[in-house]
Structure formats: structure tokens, C-alpha cells
Structure 1
Amino acid sequence: MKFRTCLTIALLALTALAAAWAAAAVFHVGENRKEKTSLLKTFTSRDEIVAFISAKIKSAENDPLIVKLIGSFRATVKTFAEAAIVFAAKALDYSTTNIQVEGVDEADIVKTDGRLIYAASSNGLISIVEAYPPEGMRVLSKISIDGQVIGLFIGEDRLIALVEEAVKITAPSESEREAIIAPLPTYFPWRTSVRVFDVSMPEKPVSVGEVTLEGRYVSSRMIDNYVYVVLTYLIPVWTENLTVLPKWAVNEGWREISPPNIYYSDSIEAPSSYTLIAAIDILDVKRSTVKSVLTGYASRIYMSRSNLYVTFPVLDRSLGGWGRTEVYRIAVNGLDIECKAKGEIQGEVLNQFSMDEHNGYFRAATTTFLYEPSSGTKMESNLYILNADNLEVVGKIEGLAPGERIYAARFMGDRCYLVTFKKVDPLFTIDVSDPSNPRVLGALKIPGYSDYLHPYDEDYLVGIGKEAVPAEEGDFAWYQGLKISLFNVSNVESPEEVAKIVIGDRGTDSPVLFDHHALLFDRGRSLLVIPILEAKIFEEDYPGEKPPWAYGRPIFQGAYVFHVSPKDGIKLIGRISHMENSGVDPMYEVKRALYINETLYTVSDGKIKANNLADLSAVSEVSLW
């Protein structure tokens, strides 16, 4: 009976953490709309951490708003607990991963050095393929990984694999049960590991080290020889006089994060998680640093060459919901990590492109969700400019596009471009050259919206999203096929959509809409390649007029190759598919595209295909299974 009770507790802890992740429950709470000045501190001992959390919990238990949120969380945990637990030589010219900041690499499932392609499949295999010259393309080696490969980095003859895995609970045998005299330890469902391989001989990759951290992966970056990883580690027990410190390991040598390496602020009311920031030397993983911030759930990050910005949603009491965002600036230099400043802005940050660092200032675009019992949720968008040194707001625009939320954002030097949407797509052009006085210069309203904005050059912008038609039933629109737009923003007061193309009907989709790494763009070649699942509505499915809410049937999946230029607009050059029959097989869904010299390579879980860039004629292909 004791064993079953202990095992049940462990399983409940596991499902609680899974539920918390799925629900994105955040227990980082601010007191009111008034900004508070709060210096960041570090702990001196484990006892101090226990006392701090216990005092905050005692105070929080008397707060009706926090209790309401905790009650909802526990209800979610109960629901999940009742469910079942499922346990080289460089080529002359080649494309690289689509990143945000030059010199700050981002992990992706496919990487190339101009001769080799490193591809991570969903089945846990990493294939190293000699891709150039394309006529002799062949698989050199494969690495089998336990867990899900989140992404890869390459550099200095090193292959770095970021792996997330669930921790399995192994029940003791009958003979071992009698020896259990204490409750089972708390098990954490997620661990993230950074595994480094020497690929100087790509035919025989060699594991040279591994750093493992308890926590759920948030994001990562690589600068020079250092990989930076951000994770969230949920505090497993919501009770006083008990805390668990995050653990991490180098080559399976486990240790706790020491209290002096954990930052905190007195302004936090209900600490719910640790945010871990790890710096790892890819040439020697034993040279690693891990710091932490005791706060709420880390949601988004932005990283420049010298600073990492991490955002945390915060409860706004006047709104009755998660209406604010705390921003932490963490200075990074090699293995040195130091939390330098904390600031606060209204609203929620959409993604990394909603943030930017420029000339000593941090800029962020947010959407505020106003909760009103009588009228429901109201939305409006904002833009904030903060002094990067102390993260104090120096300029702002609030109340932009009432009733709409931000779908896409892009900062480009002294300009900011925002896309909001409810029924039509306003593209806002904003002047941020004067940090103390940002100004809306112009807006373009067109059907549909963009989920992702990509700079073509200083005067043109590419938007990728969905076409839309206004709904007759209310104040909203039905999205349709995938839309690619080219915007002329040279006249910032009057932006113009100079070209567009719509692919498929409602149901057409692309990974670019939620993962910018899936986009291949090269302005010099006027080349744009996007993986697309195209859907089509057939007349026999909806005789007569096609209803705007109808979904089409999948008819094609593959890479769509476009020519894009201000002179020629957007032209479809051709399509490349990996499918081996008329259906859509997930194994052969094209996920990425890249080029080496004059060859275009497309990558799916099942194969890599090489096609001539000039006419898309087939050159070769290789199986990855």
C-alpha cells in the first residue's frame, strides 16, 4: 500500500507538470499597474530559498485572485491525473538558417556547411549527408538519439544536438518494495540535453560530451563557440517549507544549482518556476555555466550579441488577467552570465520578432487583452522603447488598433512594422528613430493577414500569411488559402501591396506560419522557397457557391519555389514533392529547403532531393530511413 501511495504521488507530480506546461499556467503575479522599482538579488543558501518561497505562499493563499488561479491549476492537474500517462570544405555559395540577428545562430532541424547536410528526423535519427557535389550525394553516417531532437547547431567540427526527453518512472520489483522506507523522490517529466559530437570525420561521429538540465526547453542561441539554452523548471510542490532546486549534469555528473546563482526579486508574489540559462563551450562541455531566475513561466526570448532578454507574463489586477510582461536583461559574454536589469511593459509579447535591441534601446510590441465582465475580452496593441541599460520605458505608443491583436512584427533599424487583424489586415509603419517619441506614420488595410514579415531590402517587405474574406455573420473574417505579399514601404506614410499570390483554398498551410526557419530566401537570387500543404475545395463537395468556412482536401505537399522581385512581383517557378504516391505521407512532407551553389536541396524525414536551381530538374536523391 505504501508503495502504491508513493508511486501515485510521483505520477501525480509528473502529470501536474505536464498539465502546467500544456495549460501554460503562470503564477508570476504583479501587484498593480503602478511600476515597482525592484533590485535583483541572489540567494545565499537553500534555507533562504525555502523561507522566501514559504513566506510568499502564505501571503498568496490569502489573496482571492491568486487562489482562484491556483484552484484552476489544480483542477487542470486533476483532469490530467485521471488521464492515462504516456510515457570541410566550404562551397562557394550556400544558404544558412533563417535567423533574426546576424552573428547569433538559431537551432534548426537542418544545417549545412556548404558540403555536408545535417538533418534531424522525427524518429530520432540525425543523418550526416555528403550533399556536394549533388551527383554523388550519399549518407555518410547516422546518429540514433533517444528523445526528441529539437534542433541542431554546427561549428568548429562540432555537431550540437538539442534533445528533449520525458523521464520514465520505473516501478520497483516485488523484492524491492519492502525496502522502501521513504516516499519516492519527485520525478520531473522533462529533461533537455545538449549533446556534442566531433564530426571532423563525418563518417564516424564521436560523442565528446553532454550537458543535461532538468526543465522544459524554451529556446536557444549560438554565438561563436558558445551555445546558450533557456529552460523553464516548474516548482513541483505548491506548499510551504519545501522546495526543490533545479539540477544539471555534465557527462552525467549531477549537481544542484547553487543559491548564489539564482536571481530573484522581492516583487514576485507567487514563485512558480525557475528559468534556467545555460552557457556551454562546444569545444569543452566541462566549461559550462548555469544561472537561474526564480520567477514565473518564461515565454519568449530575444538575443543580441551581448544580451539575452527573457519575458514573463504577469497578472494585472486592474484587468483581472495576464495583462503585463516582465522583461529581464541578462548580459552574456562567453561563459559569463549575469542578470543586469528588470523592466515591465503592458501586454503580451507574440514572439521573438516582436522584440529588438538597437543602439542601446530595447523595443517590444505587445497586445493587451482587457477583460471586462460586461463586454468580454477587448484587445489593443502597443509599442514600447526601453533603455537597455536599466529597462526603464522612455517612449511608447498604446491603444493601437483597438479590437485587434498583433499577428506579425518586424523591427528594421529606425522602423517598426506591425500587422494586426480582426477583419482586414492593417500593416502599420512606425518611426522609432526617436526613442522618446515613436510615431505611427502610415497604415495599409487589405484583406487577409501576415503571420510572418521578412525584409526584402530597406524599401520592400515580404509578408506570408492567409487570405481572408469578411464574414456576414459578424465582425470577423474567414481565412482562406496561403497568401504571399510584397509590400513597398519606401513611402512610409503610404505603404502599398505591389504583388501577391494565393495558394490553395481554406486548409492550405505551411510551417513558415509558425516557424521562420522553414523559409528559404535569397535576395541576390530573387529566390523564395516555402514548404506548403495545399488544400483544394472540389465542386462535388460543395455544389453551387462555395461557403467561406469550408475546408479543402489536401492535394499536394512539397516545396513551392518562387521568383520574387520589385520589378517582376511574385511568380511561381515550380514545385518539388517527396511524395511517392498520390496521398500525403508525413514521412515525406518537405520541411526545409537550402541551396549549395546552383543546386536546391529539399529535406523531409524520409529523404533529401537535389534539383537544379535553373529549371528544377532532378539531379539526385538519397533516403534517410
Structure 2
Amino acid sequence: MKKKGLVAGLLLSATILTSAFVPVTTNADQAPVVRFEGQPIAFSLQPKLIDGILMASVRDLAKALSMEVTWNAAERLAVVTGNGFELKLPLNSDYAYVNGKANTIYGSTQMVDGSMYVPLRFFMESANHVVRWDSATSSVNVTKQADSLPVVGTYDHLVTLLTQNESSGSAKVTLTTTTSKQAKSESFGNASAPTSDSVSVVVQDSASVAVPSYSGTNVQVQGVDESDVVKTDGKYIYTVNKQRIVVTQAYPADQMKVLSILDFPGNQDTQFQPSEIYVDDKYLIVLGNSYQNYKPIPYNSAGGVTGKKMILPMRSQGTAKVMVYDLTDRSSLKLLKEAELEGNYVSSRKIGSSLYFISNKYVNYYQYREMTDKEEAKTGLVPAYRDSAAGDSFTSIPLNQVYYLPKALDPNYVLIGGINLNELKQTMNVTSYLGSGQNVYASEENLYIAVTNYEQMRIQPMRMPAGDSAQGIRVGEPNGASPPVEPPQQETIIYQFGLNAGKGEYKHTGKVPGRLLNQFSMDEHNGHFRLATTTGEMGRTDEGISKNHVFILDANLKEKGKIENIAPGERIYSTRFMGDRAYMVTFKNTDPLFVIDLKDPAEPKLLGALKIPGYSDYLHPYDENHIIGFGKDTTEVDNKNPNGPQSIAYYQGMKVALFDVTDVNNPKEKFKELIGDRGTDSEVLHNHRALLFNKEKNLLSFPVNVMKIDSNQTTNNSKKPASAYGNFAFQGAYVYNLDLEKGFQFRGGITHLTQEDLQKAGQYVYAGDKQVQRVLYIGETLYTVSNGFIKANDLSTLQEKNSVVIP
């Protein structure tokens, strides 16, 4: 009690030392009851509603969580500590430091009647607690966020969450996905180590015809399949072809023919657009978006829904749709099951006989809050799904079964559907979360939803020395000079869900500073979750300069180890986690390839770096000591603008490099291959599934659009300008042999364009239906696939064997 009295005295002294305050309007009678774990908190100073924000004394909130409070007179802030948590609350500030990191409060700390008050929600959520409004008891409930996510519960609470999001100005984000398989051993060839995409098995198809080895989709790791626009089972090739699925008998090559075309004709009511597929020995699984048109909402001139006057245009609501077909008769595919989640299709993963697919449903609260029929509004605001095993109608998910992500609130539902392909008559499992995510990562055991929070840019917080008046003068800023602008603060929140029979169950929450680049920025290995992030901004030279980091989290998503501040002034262009190592490429003017030792999760080490011209957008393993980089070559030139940087790097043609990391302290570029000039591009730089690689066959192939500088663009006495673009020269697949003795050996290009097509081509690439999208092999035949053709070439000679036109 003596210590608490001292704290109160210090806080009171802070009031005396503080310059004039703006009066605040309070009404304690309007403050609701606050409960912690179901029991009312015994406040010595009652919470108050100040400018519509529920505020409580720092001392009382700390006491409720069994924490200590001290006053730092020099910096004029309160410090709350306990259970490994530290919260620094500057006086009269709209920001605070949570474990050393600046966070926006969305409100401000204030002195009221001699004690510091802080927004209750900010305080509790900063301490990893969940705050929600219970309309039934008109109370605020605070619970620990250790074992479960909070439930939306009621319509009133949903509206509260949505309006809170509206006032906080959260940025809209999109959802992408990634997967990995958890490691089962320490060796490079374990389940978490990236591998090639070949399926080296011999099976029997339904007609008892021997099927040779064939290539599969290039996935991040083995064990978790990824959907793609082209799939093969060793005899047939299945392709997403515009609005259709085309099944082609591809093996043997001399018997190639289109076997069937699965069309999805639309009508005035519905339209289905396939985007990706899976294939196994039983089923063809088609995924995409379905759009169901409905009538305009009737509005009157005042903007309210009346049911009399229709002035809004036609709109369509979408669903993410899965259609499962029986492959017994490929010439006449039979539909076995349909399943839909409201929202837009994001991505999916297939783990054994379990299929998981994800949708995002935007919650248009603005539309529904104006509706006079509140029951209809409530129905429209909740997520829903449909499974043909249960009938044709949609099933709404009750709000007491909808969870929300406290630190990633957004007017959006993330829906996860799980289907057991061995039991198609069972209705799929569906879980729904109010919130957002930018990346989804899945292993065999866990699903991770990651979202990066971006705080709005703000000026440095005001700090007034004792005796100054409230004129906004800042320390160290004579004459009221403008303060420096801070960069947006970025923090990635990770939610972990255990996968159990097609259902995701919440397990843990973690967070790291910075933003993720893509799916290869995350990895699960031997019970640890690893991430690579970037903070700050390129081009800055102050504290806001870009920096790169690697974090290792334990099974509970608590920080275990980290390496921070890698390559200041640059950002991550690619990352690859491979067992006990990580490889990171950053870029500004040159390409540093960093080798990072992750064997001891608590003490990761930066081993070596290689700086060369160019950069890699995608890293792919060759073996334990070699890695292939796909990216662009660059040319660095002096910058003639005296106000800009000293030099500028212009990207040139495509670059493929083989890096030797045998000596991890001194990585080397063993071989490189340059393709075309500025403007050359390949889908493999943006989509790893476009790569075909098989180490045993020394085979490397990928689609590429080649641009070349014409000879008349240069003279004998001058080089081509670094900024000059090439003209269209080739579209198709480049094929290489690759080994450790000779490096990249170009064998030739396979194109679907005729000579006439090339002659008609202009400066820019346009191949239309002849744009080669994927390369695959079956036995000793190499196949290239476009929307217009499938071409078969001999794998040894590249001589054309056969081709089939896709009508």
C-alpha cells in the first residue's frame, strides 16, 4: 500500500508539473460496468466516457492485471510492468510504447482529477487481452487471450466491432496463401526442405496402362499440394482454359487428342469462373468464383430502403466454389459434389484426402445499416455457405460461432472450408473469422493467418517541458519549426490454427515487426515458425530507413531468436528457408545474397553475403549446397540529378544464376545465364508454379517472353542505353540442361507461335491463345501448354512429336 501511495503521489506531482490542459467533458454516470474474467473490476476511480471513449485510470487497470506502475518524471510518462510486459504511457499523448515499440492509441492519455487515464481497450489489448461489449448486460467484458479467440456473439456486438473499425480507419488488405510441410528430420531432404516437382512413380490407371514418371506442380515443399492452371496424372493433361476445363489424352504422344471439354455456361442468374484445379487418382477438383446476380435494392430519394423505388444498378454477390468430379470416365465427367463459401476465392491446399479452401467476404455494413428491415439486415451481415450434400440452400453461420481477430479487425470475413474427399457425402467443415489477413500459410498440422498493420503517418509526439504553455512547441525545435515526419509503423500479427479433420481450431497469437513479402517469407520447421520481414522505407536516410529482419518463434509463437537490421536501405526481394538455413536476397543497386544459419533457433547467425549486379525474385533449391536464383540483371549508371542518389540501377534482361553455398561464409555465383534485354520477363519471376526443374534429369524449363535490342538501336561506337527496351523476339518455353560441371546449357526454345505470327508482332509481346503458360514432362516427352495448343517434343532432342489444337 505504501508503494501504491507513492505512485499516486508521483502521478499527482505530474499534474502539478504539467502545463495548461484542455478541459475535458466527462460523464461518469454513462460509463458501463467493466468485468474481468466475468467479475466486476473494483475501481478506486470510476471509468469515464471522454469524447465517446471509455477511459480508466492506469493504476486501476494495472492492479486488475496484477502489474506495477511507476512514474518517470524525466520523460513524463507512466510505466506499467509485469509478466514480461512493459507499457510506457507518455502524458497527453496519442501514442504509447508496447514492449519498446510505438503504437497508436486512437485516443490519448489524459490527467483527470489528479490521475492518468488511458483508453481501456488500448490498455487491455496491448496486454494481450480481449475487450468486447455485451449488449445483453450492457457491460464491457475483458478476457485473457491465451486459449481462444473471442466470439462476435451478437448482432449489436458485430455492429460495435464494425463501427470501431470504421473509426480507426483500418486499411483494406487482400489475402494470399502459402503452404509448407512440417519437418520430421534434420536432413536436407526432410519434409520441410524444398524439393523438385517431379513425381517419380509408376502407377496403373483405370485402363491398366503403365504410366511413366511425370512432373507435378512445383510446390514450396513436398506433402502439401498447391492448385494450378495445369495438372497431369501421367497420362492426361487437365487445363483451365478460359471459362472451361479441357481434358487431353497426352500419353502416348502419338495418340494425343482432346478427350472432353467441361464448360460452365452462364445465364442471367449465375456465372461460374474456374481458376485452378487439383487432380488425383479419383477426382478432378475445380475451384473458382461463382457469381449470382440479384435484383437492385429499392431505395427512395432520401436514401432509405422502402421497397418502392429502384435506383441502384444490378450487383452480384460472389462465392468461392469447389466442384468435385469423378474421373472414372474422363470423356464424360460426372459431378459428385459442390461446395461454396460466401466471398471471393483466395486459394486452397490439398493435404492427402483433405481439401482446404479459403474465401474473403467483404462486410458491406454501410448498405445494411440503412435497411428498415433489421432482420433482413442481420441475415445479410452474417457469413454463409452451401454444400450439395446438405441441399441447395445456403446455411448462415450464427454469430455465436463466428470468431474475430482482435488485432486484425476489418469489415471482412475469412472463411475456411474443409472437405474430406474420402467422405463426399459429409458436409464440409466451415470456420469463420471477422478480420483480415494478407498471407495464409499451412503445414500439415497448422494454419497461419498473418496480417500486417500499418499505422498512419504522424508527427513526432509533443513533449512540453515544465513551464511551457500549450502552444505546441517541441523540445529542440526553436521557433516552432516543423517536426520530422515518422514512417508508418508496421507490425505483422500471426494467428495460428491447428488443422484437425478439415477444421481449424485457434491455438496461439504472435507478432513481429515489419511486413512480409510473399509466401516464401514464412516457414515452419521442427516446431518453430520462421519469418523474414522488412521495416521502414527505401530512399530514406534517417531512422525510417528500410531494414530487414529474420525472426524465429517457438511453438507458442513467442520470440525465440532473431537477426535484425540486415542491409539497411534495401528491401527483401526473395527469401528461401531450407532446413537449418535461410537465404535472403535484398536489393538497391546490387544483389546481396545472405546466408543465415538457423540451426540454433535461439541464436541465428548471419554467415556470409555475396554482392553481385542484379537481383533474384525467386530462389529454388538445386541441392543442399546450391541454390538457383531467378531474377533480372541490372546496370548501374551515374545519376546526373544532383538532388538524387549518386547512381541508379536499371534492370535489364532476365538472369538465372546458380549459387554455391558450400562455404557458407563465402557464397559464390558459380554460373549465370542472361536472357534477352530490358523488358524480358517470365511468369516464374512472379509465380513459382511456372517452373519445371528435375535435378536427376538435369532439366530446367520455364515460359519466357524475350525482348531484344535491335542492331539498329546501337552503333559500333556506342553501347545500348541502360534504359532502352528491347523489341519482342520470342514467346514460349526455354529449355536447359543444368549440372554442377557445365552450368546452364541452353538446348532451345519451344514456341506455339508461327513465323507469320512473329512477323506480325510489334514491339510488345502479344501471343494471345498461343502464350505458353506451363511446361511439364511425361516419361521422355516434354509438353508445353497454352490456351490454343498442347505441343509434345522429344525430351532428348526437342524435336516435335505431335501437337493438338484446343478448340
Residue type matched to 1:288 in 2? M
Identity of aligned residues (%): 37
Residues 477-488 of structure 1: pairs in structure 2 closer than 5 A: 477-488=649-660
Alignment partner of 1:117 is 2:237: yes
Residue of structure 2 equivalent to 1:84: none
d(CA) in 1 for partners of 2:419, 2:531: 28
Asked if 1:504 corresponds to 2:643, the answer is no
Alpha-carbon distance change, 374 to 472 in structure 1, aligned in 2, over 3 angstroms: closer
Which of these two proteins has the greater Rg computed from alpha carbons?
2
Task: Show the counterpart of 2:385.
Answer: 248
Tell me the equivalent position of 1:514.
Answer: 686
Q: Aligned residue for 1:600?
A: 782
Distance, in Å, in 1 between the alignment partners of 2:314 and 2:601 is 48
Distance 1:188 1:368, change over 3 A: farther
Whole-angstrom CA distance in 1 between matches of 2:401 and 2:97: 26
The residue number in structure 2 matching 1:149 is: 274
What displacement does 1:54 show? 5.2
* TM-score using structure 2 length: 0.66
2:283 aligned residue (139, 158, 166): 158
Do residues 287 (structure 1) and 427 (structure 2) align?
yes
CA distance in 2, matches of 1:206, 1:418: 46
Between the aligned partners of 1:197 and 1:95, the Cα distance in structure 2 is 22
Spell out structure 1 runs of 4+ moving beyond 6 A.
Answer: 182-186, 239-243, 371-377
Query: Do structure 1's residue 127 and structure 2's residue 284 form an aligned pair?
Result: no
Per the TM alignment, residue 506 of structure 1 is displaced from its structure 2 partner at its CA by: 0.4
Please report how far the alpha carbon of residue 164 of structure 1 lies from its aligned counterpart in structure 2 after TM superposition: 2.1
Deviation of the 1:545 alpha carbon: 3.1
Whether the aligned pair in 2 keeps the contact of 1:487 and 1:496 (CA below 8 Å) is yes
Change (3 A) 1:116 1:506: same
Indicate the larger mover: 580-589 or 528-537: 580-589
User: What's 2:322 paired with?
Assistant: 194
Assess if the C-alpha contact under 8 Å between 1:163 and 1:192 holds in 2. yes
Partner of 1:321: helix, strand, or coil?
Answer: coil
Q: CA 1:286/1:187 → structure 2, altered by over 3 Å: closer, same or farther? A: farther
Aligned match of 1:97 = 217
Contact 1:90 1:115 in 2 (8 A): no
Question: In the alignment, which of 736, 743, 749 is matched to residue 569 of structure 1?
Answer: 743
C-alpha distance in 2 between matches for 1:31 and 1:220: 38
Correspondence 1:412-427 to 2 at 5 A: 412-427=578-593
> What residue identity is the alignment partner of 2:248?
V
What amino acid sits opposite 2:382 in the alignment?
L
Measure the CA separation in 1 of the matches of 2:159 and 2:274: 38
Q: Is the 8 A contact 1:425 1:445 kept in 2?
A: yes
Following TM superposition, by how much is the alpha carbon of 1:218 offset from its aligned partner in structure 2, in angstroms?
Answer: 2.5
The answer on 1:585 being equivalent to 2:767 is yes
For the pair 1:405 / 2:571, whether they are aligned, the reply is yes
Matches within 5 A, 1:339-354: 339-354=506-521
Residue 538 of structure 2 contacts residue 569 of structure 2 at CA under 8 Å; is this kept in 1?
Answer: no
User: Matched residues in 1 for 2:604 and 2:283: separation?
Assistant: 44
C-alpha contact 1:462 1:486 (8 A) present in aligned 2? yes
Deviates more, 1:235-244 or 1:218-227: 235-244
Q: Does 1:546 align with 2:674?
A: no
Provide, for residues 574-620 of structure 1, a one-character-per-residue CA deviation record: whole Å limited to 9, x for no partner.
Answer: 11001132134221111101111100011011110110000001111
Q: Distance in 2 between matches of 1:285 and 1:228?
A: 16
Q: Does 1:139 align with 2:258?
A: yes
Q: Which runs of 5+ in 2 are unaligned?
A: 1-94, 103-125, 130-144, 174-204, 265-270, 299-304, 370-376, 459-485, 640-644
Change (3 A) 1:164 1:612: same
CA gap of 1:303–1:375, structure 2 versus 1, over 3 A, is same
Are 2:307 and 1:180 aligned? yes
Partners in 2 of 1:301 and 1:439 — Cα distance? 27
Opposite residue 131 of structure 1, the aligned amino acid is A
> Equivalent residue for 1:621?
803
Residue 348 of structure 1 aligns to a residue whose secondary structure is: coil
| 1:553-591 deviations in Å (ceiling 9; x for gaps) | 111000000111111111101110011321342211111
- Residue aligning to 2:226: 106
Instruction: Tell me by how many angstroms 1:369 deviates.
Output: 2.5
Work out whether residues 42 and 259 of structure 1, in 8 Å CA contact, stay in contact via their aligned partners in 2: no
Confirm whether residue 225 of structure 1 aligns to residue 353 of structure 2: yes
1:328-357 Cα distance to aligned partner (Å, 9 max, x none): 111112223212111111111111111110
Deviates more, 1:40-49 or 1:140-149: 40-49
Q: How does 1:427-466 map to 2 (within 5 A)?
A: 427-466=593-632
Q: Does 1:45 align with 2:148?
A: no
Residue 559 (1) aligns with residue 733 (2): yes
Question: Is the 2:152–2:403 Cα contact (8 Å) retained in structure 1?
Answer: no
Which amino acid counterpart does residue 104 of structure 1 have in structure 2?
V
Deviation per CA, 1:413-465, whole angstroms, max 9, x where unpaired? 00000000110000000000111111100000000000000000001100000
Shift of 1:231: 2.2
Runs of at least 5 residues in structure 1 that lack an aligned partner in the other structure: 1-28, 74-87
Does the CA contact (< 8 Å) of 1:55 and 1:240 recur in 2? Answer: no
Aligned letter for 2:259?
L
Residues 445/613 of structure 1: CA separation in 2 closer, same or farther (3 Å cut): same
Partners of 2:539 and 2:425 lie apart in 1 by 51
Give secondary structure in 2 for the equivalent of 1:378: coil
- For residue 248 of structure 1, report the CA deviation from its aligned partner: 1.6
Counterpart CA distance in 1 for 2:583 and 2:297 is 58
Distance 1:331 1:90 in 2: 39
CA RMSD, 1 decimal: 2.9
How far the C-alpha of 1:43 sits from its partner, in A, is 2.1
> d(CA) in 1 for partners of 2:309 and 2:384?
21
User: TM (normalized to structure 1)?
Assistant: 0.85
CA deviations 1:393-426 (Å, max 9, x no partner) are 1111111111111111101100000000110000
* 1:313 to 2:452 alignment: yes
